[in-house]
Structure 1
Amino acid sequence: MTTLENDYLRVSIRPKGAELTSIVHKPTDIEHLWQADPSVWGWHAPNLFPVVGGCLNNQLLIDGKTYPIERHGFARQSLFDTTESTTNHAIFSLRSSEETRVHFPYTFEFQILYELDGPRLTITYRLVNEDEQPIFFSVGAHPAFAVPFESGENYEDYFIEFEQVEPLETHMLSSAGYFTGETKPVPTVEVNTSERRLALTKHLFDDDALVFKNLVARRVTIRSDKHNHALSVEYPAFPYLGVWAKPSAPFVCIEPWLGCADSEGEPKPIQQKEAIQQVEPGRVFEAAFWIDVS
């Protein structure tokens, strides 16, 4: 286990999946990350690579061949090497191998960087293309934040605040986890001309995740009606956002994505998948998001 710490935050990351397991706000001693109760949902903050969501038939179609791939990819189940570690900075690395090429036939190094700066944790995804051809991939985050923050509060005391006042429309998923092509408006409360709230309720996610593909907002904040303590996720490089929880579970996931699940229908070659990313031979892809606690 790797621990990063400053005056504001104490963060722990495990080698499996290079997954965050704890974000403690030291001034209040509040643990902000869901603690992975296996009877509810046994993850803290899985990193999604080389796919986000599910692929039709659990397969990737690459250069005319099919490769088995599980939902959200193999990185979250893989053991990363810790290549750098200081009190406020760590780099984790997953290199391609015979095992990864069974699922994803490219030569690469996938790095995840964590860095503390005051009350902010920066998480950076970096893909180094060590192949002789372009690599097509998706990448995303899936952190689950414990709600409520404090004892004596209720889940319904909390809401998600969007930085822009805009209509919210979720893209519907089938029971198998594929997009159906249907959309549905998400009811929110417009507090004023610059603030829109999505109330957290135990049944908000009865129909699976809320998936926003057209958001202008690049920052959302989890807040309570009872106090000013808040947690924000800022994701300038990620055009898609998932918001999810197990129905009635005491957490909410804020998920910035570069990629998404397949839509119902016929499988497409990887380069035609929705929101697919590409990095050329010898080049490096990089995208970061931030978690701020205040």
Structure 2
Amino acid sequence: MIFLENEHLTASFANKGAELQYLKSKKYNIDYLWNGNPTNWGKFSPILFPIVGSLKNNTYYFENKGYKLSRHGFARDYDFEAIMRSNTEVVFTLTHNAETLKVYPFRFVLHLRYTLTELGLSCTYEVTNPADDLLLFSIGAHPAFKVPIQDDVQYTDYFLKFNKDQILAYHKISEDLIANETVEIELKDGKLPLQHELFYEDALVFKSLKSDCISIACDKNPHGLHFKFKDFPFFGIWAAKNADFVCLEPWCGIADGVDHQQNLEEKEGIVSLAPGKTWSRSWEIECF
């Protein structure tokens, strides 16, 4: 484990998957992350790379050859190397290897940079293409936040507050793939009340979210968080069945649609990175 600390917060990370596993406010004595209880879901904040979600038949095709990849890709299962570390910042790195090239025939350098701030934590994904050909990839976040944040309130006392949306249109999931059918939810004052039943049919998947900040808040308790993100075209919200957490997931990429033909170049949301170029995106947690 690797630990970061400043005057306001402490955080911990596992080398496996470069996964954030703990984010605690010293001032409020609150750990804002889900505890990783395997009874419900034994993860904390996995990275999704080089795909987001599921492939049709767990298979994609590139240059007339088929490859198998399981849901959300392989990065979360590999040990990253911490190449830079200070009291308040750490940079983890994963690169291609003989095993990844068997299932994903691209060379890559993936950095995760975590930085403690005065109010919370920022995470930046950096992908570099060291090869002479295009690098095709998707990437996404999957942090799980504890709800209720404190024990004096219940799950259903909390809501998600969207800073720019009043109507949500989400895509349903059919056998792990994105269905064509959408469902609209009309919000009151930008608020989506949390209830376990929201996720009984899997995640809520958005392709046209306007918001770039979603807050977890409660009228009966002063504590919560703001989750900020920018330039992620897709977003997922999910929780395991009846579990006391909610995942806020900005994505550059998305699961295959039910009608997808499985060619990687034609995959919705796929990022195409030129040789020698670096691509980055960031998200941030602000605790209150």
Q: Which residue of 2 aligns with 1:188?
A: 187
Question: CA, structure 1 residues 88+290, in 2 after alignment: closer, same or farther (shift >3 Å)?
Answer: same
Q: Which residue of 1 aligns with 2:239?
A: 245
What secondary structure sits across from 2:156 in the alignment?
Answer: helix
> For residue 145 of structure 1, what is the amino acid of its counterpart?
F
What secondary structure sits across from 1:203 in the alignment?
Answer: helix
Question: How far apart in 2 are the matches of 1:259 and 1:266?
Answer: 14
Question: How far apart in 2 are the matches of 1:284 and 1:157?
Answer: 42
Question: How far apart in 2 are the matches of 1:82 and 1:16?
Answer: 11
Question: CA, structure 1 residues 54+165, in 2 after alignment: closer, same or farther (shift >3 Å)?
Answer: closer
Q: Deviations over 1:60-100 (max 9, x none)?
A: 21111111101000001111011011111100011100011
> For residue 252 of structure 2, what is the amino acid of its counterpart?
L
What secondary structure sits across from 1:254 in the alignment?
Answer: strand
Question: How far apart in 2 are the matches of 1:15 and 1:266?
Answer: 34
Q: Give the one of 249, 252, 259 matched to 1:255.
A: 249
More deviation in 139-148 or 179-188?
179-188
Question: How far apart in 2 are the matches of 1:25 and 1:97?
Answer: 38
Question: How far apart in 2 are the matches of 1:252 and 1:70?
Answer: 23
Q: Which residue of 2 aligns with 1:102?
A: 102
Residue 7 (1) aligns with residue 7 (2):
yes
What secondary structure sits across from 1:228 in the alignment?
Answer: strand
Q: Deviations over 1:170-197 (max 9, x none)?
A: 10110x210110101124323xxxxx10
Q: Is the 8 A contact 1:68 1:102 kept in 2?
A: no
Unaligned runs of 5+ in 2: none
Q: Is the 8 A contact 2:166 2:188 kept in 1?
A: no
Q: Is the 8 A contact 1:237 1:289 kept in 2?
A: no
Residue 85 (1) aligns with residue 73 (2):
no
Q: Which residue of 1 aligns with 2:206?
A: 212
Residue 265 of structure 1, CA deviation:
2.8
Q: Deviations over 1:211-268 (max 9, x none)?
A: 1110111110000111222211111121211111012110000000000000113533
The runs of at least 4 consecutive aligned structure 1 residues that moved more than 6 Å come to none
Q: Give the one of 268, 271, 275 matched to 1:277.
A: 271
What secondary structure sits across from 1:186 in the alignment?
Answer: strand
**TM (normalized to structure 1)?**
0.96
What secondary structure sits across from 1:102 in the alignment?
Answer: helix
What secondary structure sits across from 1:47 in the alignment?
Answer: coil
Q: Which residue of 2 aligns with 1:53?
A: 53
Question: How far apart in 1 are the matches of 2:110 and 2:165?
Answer: 36
Question: How far apart in 2 are the matches of 1:233 and 1:266?
Answer: 31
Q: Which residue of 1 aligns with 2:166?
A: 166
